Amino acid sequence: MTSARPVLTVLAALVAIWYAASVWMNATWVFDQAERAGQSVTWAEVVPQTMAQARPLLPPPHQVAAELWKGVAGQKITSKRSLVYHGLITLRGTMMGFALGIVLGVALAVSIVRYRVMELSVMPWAIISQTIPIVALAPMILTLSNQMGIDSREVPKAIISAYLSFFPVLVSMVKGLRSPDQMQLDQLKTYGASENQTFWKLRLPASMPYFFASLKVAVAAALIGTIVGELPTGAIEGLGARMLIGSQFGEPLIMWAALFAAAILAGMLIVTVGVIERLANTRMGVRP
């Protein structure tokens, strides 16, 4: 817990900056109102007014917290205004994309390590694929799956998030499957192990720490992919759609609450994956 104090200090500083910024940005509106009413206002009067606007330019933290609380605890989970409801939809998309990304990443990594022709032909394209901004492809993937008669919005979202999350898994797995050193490989050769046995008994176990380390990156990428998949596509459900609605209807509080809900979801996912990683590592006897 030695790092708790510095972290809290930094967080407090960030909140303070945020308050200052929201006073500064929202003050313009207060001054405008006062000018229109023909009054002059002093700073002492302005500050409280910047704290409680209905449509602030930058809502102060407590307003966002209140809206977030209202969205999480103040509604039934099934309500369309509940952030838990939208969060679950985003979570489902994220998990589907994450699973798809893991399967794709591991399968590609295995074939790349096994067959040299795969390495030479697929690996460069996998790297190039990540330099293509996925958001350019996102609306495309949506229309494509629409035309092919897939009505659900889940599938395109999952594809987008898999596209972002497979790469970290692929890179780490290739590294992990190649991590056994020559000595260990030689030993298995002296045991007369076949290529398959070497894979199952040496390469795969050796790659596990790499695999779990990559999952943390991959799950964050999957969440970003899902939210991007919800943003430009006219989706009506999910945290990304909530942000879009907040932006289109000029309701900054909705937007900020959805943003923080997404941040909390990201935090929970990363912590969960971290716990799984630690459990798996202790069980498999990985020494730090």
Partner 1 sequence: MIWFFGALLFWIGAWWGNVRLATGPASHSAGGRIAVAALFGITVLVLWEGYVRGFGISPVILPAPTAIAAKFAGSLGTLWADFVQTVIKGALSGFLIGVAAAFVVAVAIDRSPFLQRGLLPVGNFVAALPIVGLAPVLVMWFGFDWQSKAAVVVVMVFFPVLVNIVAGLNSADRMQRDLMATWSASYWQSLWCLRLPAAMPFVFNGLKIASTLALIGAIVAEFFGSPIVGMGFRISTEVGRLGLDMVWAEIVVAALSGSLFYGVISAIEKRVTFWHPSQRG
Of 77, 66, 83, 98, whose CA–CA distance to 241 is shortest?
A: 83
Alpha carbon distance 277, 229 (integer Å): 27
Beta carbon of residue 142, minimum distance to partner 1 (angstroms, whole number): 8
Q: Candidates 81-89, 98-106, 136-144, 171-179 — which segment interacts with partner 1 by CB under 8 A?
A: 136-144
CB of 212 to partner 1, least distance (A): 16
Among 116, 195, 283, 288, binds partner 1 (CB under 8 A): 116
Closest CA to 137 of 62, 71, 229, 223: 229
Closest CB 192 distance from partner 1, rounded Å? 24
Indicate whether 121 belongs to the interface with partner 1 (CB under 8 A).
Answer: yes
Binds partner 1 by CB under 8 A, chosen from 140, 268, 279, 284: 140
Write the DSSP symbol of residue 237: S
Q: In the complex, what is the shortest distance from the CB of residue 189 to partner 1, in angstroms, rounded to a whole number?
A: 20
235/237 Cα distance (integer angstroms): 6
Q: Which is nearer to partner 1, 130 or 184 (CB)?
A: 130
Out of 247, 274, 281, 286, name the contact with partner 1 by CB under 8 A: 247
Q: Is 76 in the site for partner 1 (CB under 8 A)?
A: no
The count of other CB atoms within 10 Å of the CB of residue 30 is 18
When asked if residue 274 is in the footprint of partner 1 (CB under 8 A), the reply is: no
Q: How far apart are CA 273 and CA 176, in angstroms?
A: 18
124 binds partner 1 (CB under 8 A): yes
Helix axes 83-114, 154-177, angle to 10 degrees: 40
Q: Does 132 bind partner 1 (CB under 8 A)?
A: yes
Asked if 66 touches partner 1 (CB under 8 A), the answer is no
Q: 177-183: long-range contacts (C-beta < 8 A, 24 or more apart)? A: 177/109, 177/110, 177/113, 177/203, 177/204, 177/206, 177/207, 178/113, 178/203, 179/206, 179/207, 179/210, 180/206
* One of 17, 52, 267, 268 touching partner 1 (CB under 8 A): 267
Residue 57 near partner 1 by CB under 8 A: yes
Residue placing its CB nearer to partner 1 in the complex, 177 or 239: 239
**Residue ranges in 200-239 that form contacts with partner 1 under rule CB under 8 A:** 216-217, 220, 223-224, 227-228, 231-232, 239
- For 223, other C-beta atoms within 10 Å of its C-beta total 28
8 part of the interface to partner 1, by CB under 8 A = yes
Counting contacts by CB under 8 A, is residue 266 touching partner 1? yes
